[in-house]
Amino acid sequence: MAGLWFSHRVSRQGSVLLVTKKTDTESNTNYAQGGIAAAVSSDDSAQLHCEDTLRTGAGIAHPDVVKLVTEAGPGLVRELFSLGVPFNTYADGSGAEHFDLGQEGGHRRRRIVHARDFTGAEIEHGLLRAVRSNRNVTMLEEHFAVDLFLDENGRCCGVFALDKSTGTVELVRARVCLLATGGMGQAWLHTTNPRIATGDGVAMGYRSGARIADMEFVQFHPTSLYGHLLEDRAFLISEAVRGEGAILRTRDGHAFMPEYHQDADLAPRDVVARAIATELRLRGGEYVLLDATHLDPNRLRDRFPNISETCLRLGIDITRQPIPVVPAAHYVCGGIETNDRAETSVPGLFAAGECACSGLHGANRLASNSLLEALVMADRAAERAAGEVRGQESSGERREARMGSRESRVQSSASAADDARVAGLRRRLQSRMWQSAGIVRTDAGLAEARKELVALADEAESLGSSVAGMELRNLLAVSRLVVECALRRPESRGLHYNEDHPKPDDRCQRDTVISRSEFAPSPA
Ligand SMILES: Cc1cc2nc3c(=O)[nH]c(=O)nc-3n(C[C@H](O)[C@H](O)[C@H](O)COP(=O)(O)OP(=O)(O)OC[C@H]3O[C@@H](n4cnc5c(N)ncnc54)[C@H](O)[C@@H]3O)c2cc1C
């Protein structure tokens, strides 16, 4: 979403080259179900949305960024609607059209704008339509961005990208670059994220010297479908299902959430994920149940066609049977540190969306605020980038090549024999991260994780440069950043819960920032 919106916007200023490592639709955005949060109803305001976001952020969210994102949201969401994204609406008695708004945990108002439960896919299709018909935007699919290209002054002037069909690495030069590479859920054994979510942008940013912030704050979604994997990802049962009244129960039918939080099933996600982890530890078993059987079956099928049809295909009729669910790694709040114009600490480099840390989420993400962040911060980046390009032109500064020009450089080496080793190392990484840098952490577990990550990185260095090998090295680098940030936070706050320090500590109420000088980056 961040990359597409940026391209759509900045193309008014010049040519844009969009590099994506798979087909144009494969992304985290494609799987977002619940919706995008924006204060668009008459009983709501940006101020209330801002307060809810700050409260959830547990003292670390940046108030200026939260204010600007929540204020810019409604206008940009309406722009998406006018671009043809089919958000659900209804007409009131006078015939006026309003968004049909969902409710999610932590929001004091119904403010989740959605397109049934295909919100992300519908947004993506709408934006793809816009950029495909835009002659200023060229899309390079199946091109893997390997590393950023910096000039002798440390300014980002492009990216090295591997053409997967020829195995050739090309240098793509550009006047400005935006990293919008999404999440890193594939670092954990259980995740809702698709295969592309390997933290490449954060790893590239780190290797090029960008400051990285708040990587310890990882959101584990409480309810992913237990027992079925869809192409390496767990299928998400959106929080909006609980918003409609579904109840979490132990396998013997006990509704446990009221014992953990006053908002019961609509408590913040970290509270729900920890409650499930606790119930599983106390009572044994590998899953709990999400019960929607008391809800109107027609409304359920109509509001959640994706969830009800996918579950039915897998043998679960959600209108008659409770759904077995477990928590899974879902979203990383941290990333490449940016200011409120999406600029990173590397000149010429912008970052937006899940790979960035703008300060919106702080220690915890309010549901449906990530699509909003991707949209607003990509918009801010486009505005600033256009200004920067205009500035370069008016100062007569001439760069060697025009935006988006490409030169072939080196041939990548890949060996099929490496594949099995890559898969094995990736599995070990995922298990370690699940065990030691998951929902509940300890000092000893984190120290153990650091040791194993160093050892795994050593083993991975000898692998050739296949895409899978480079993704593995990126996953190792960003996992290390998660663990290092977690070790630097001897407290529990928001999404970071350390059993050895179970309470927040005022002295830790700040961002955790890491830069390249602190440990050697793994090579791409
Ligand atoms: C199952 C699921 C449900 C969700 N539901 C919601 C929701 O309801 N509301 C909400 O607000 N958020 C939701 N989220 C989170 C939200 O979808 C993401 O945070 C958001 O879509 C991220 O957008 P993005 O543009 O930053 O990244 P993405 O949409 O992930 O796009 C990243 C792009 O970068 C490409 N890429 C990555 N690495 C490279 C590389 N090395 N070279 C070239 N290209 C590369 C990828 O192929 C992809 O095209 C959900 C996430 C998941 C997984």
| Nearest atom within ligand 1 for CA of residue 354 | 26
Sequence-ordered list of residues with C-beta below 8 angstroms from that of 205, at least 6 positions apart, any chain? 148, 179, 212, 335, 336, 344, 346, 349, 351, 355
411 pLDDT tier (thresholds 50, 70, 90) = low
- Quick check: pTM over 0.85? yes
Nearest to 255 by CA among 282, 279, 285, 222: 279
How many degrees, rounded to 5, is the angle at CA 349 between CA 393 and CA 37?
A: 110
Cα(354) to centroid(ligand 1), Å: 7
| Nearest atom within ligand 1 for CA of residue 193 | 53
Is residue 381 within 8 Å of 353, Cβ to Cβ?
no
- Ordered by where they begin, the domains of the chain are 2-216+333-394+403-410 (3.50.50.60), 223-329 (3.90.700.10), 412-518 (1.20.58.100)
What CA–CA distance (Å, rounded) separates 155 from 81?
37
What pLDDT shows up at residue 394? Answer: 82
Statement: residue 390 has pLDDT above 90: no
269 is catalytic: yes
Cα(310) to centroid(ligand 1), Å: 21
Q: Per-residue pLDDT averaged across 438-466, rounded?
A: 94
Is there an atom of ligand 1 within 6 Å of 36 CB?
Answer: yes
Is residue 461 within 8 Å of 523, Cβ to Cβ?
yes
The single residue of 9, 207, 211, 269 carrying the catalytic annotation is 269
Statement: residue 141 has pLDDT above 70: yes
| Nearest atom within ligand 1 for CA of residue 185 | 53
Sequence-ordered list of residues with C-beta below 8 angstroms from that of 172, at least 6 positions apart, any chain? 17, 19, 140, 158, 159, 160, 161, 404, 405, 406
Q: What is the DSSP string of 101-143?
A: EE--TT-SS--EE-STT-HHHHHHHHHHHHHHT-TTEEEETTE
Is there an atom of ligand 1 within 6 Å of 160 CB?
Answer: no
Is there an atom of ligand 1 within 6 Å of 73 CB?
Answer: no
User: From atom 41 of ligand 1, which residue's Cα is the shortest distance away?
Assistant: 145
Q: Across-strand partners of 230?
A: 233
pLDDT, tens digit, 9 for 90 and up, residues 184-225: 999 998 899 999 999 999 999 999 999 999 999 999 999 999
**356 by DSSP, 3-state: which?**
strand
Q: Across-strand partners of 291?
A: 247
Is residue 478 within 8 Å of 187, Cβ to Cβ?
yes
What CA–CA distance (Å, rounded) separates 78 from 84?
10
Q: What is the DSSP string of 441-469?
A: B-HHHHHHHHHHHHHHHHHHHTS---HHH
pLDDT, tens digit, 9 for 90 and up, residues 219-252: 999 999 998 888 788 999 988 899 899 999 999 9
What CA–CA distance (Å, rounded) separates 304 from 245?
13
Q: Per-residue pLDDT averaged across 401-409, rounded?
A: 53
Cα(32) to centroid(ligand 1), Å: 8
Statement: residue 413 has pLDDT above 90: no
Is there an atom of ligand 1 within 6 Å of 182 CB?
Answer: yes
Nearest to 104 by CA among 496, 372, 377: 372
User: From atom 11 of ligand 1, which residue's Cα is the shortest distance away?
Assistant: 368
Structure tokens at 398: 């001439």
Sequence-ordered list of residues with C-beta below 8 angstroms from that of 372, at least 6 positions apart, any chain? 36, 37, 38, 69, 70, 73, 77
Cα(262) to centroid(ligand 1), Å: 32
Q: Per-residue pLDDT averaged across 90-111, rounded?
A: 92
Statement: residue 402 has pLDDT above 80: no
Is there an atom of ligand 1 within 6 Å of 353 CB?
Answer: yes
What pLDDT shows up at residue 58? Answer: 95
Structure tokens at 240: 């909006």
Statement: residue 137 has pLDDT above 50: yes
Is there an atom of ligand 1 within 6 Å of 191 CB?
Answer: no
Q: Across-strand partners of 159?
A: 148, 172
Is there an atom of ligand 1 within 6 Å of 374 CB?
Answer: yes
| Nearest atom within ligand 1 for CA of residue 29 | 21
Please tell me what DSSP assigns to residue 492: -
| CA 415 to the chain's CA centroid | 31
Structure tokens at 423: 């898969």
Q: Per-residue pLDDT averaged across 159-180, rounded?
A: 94
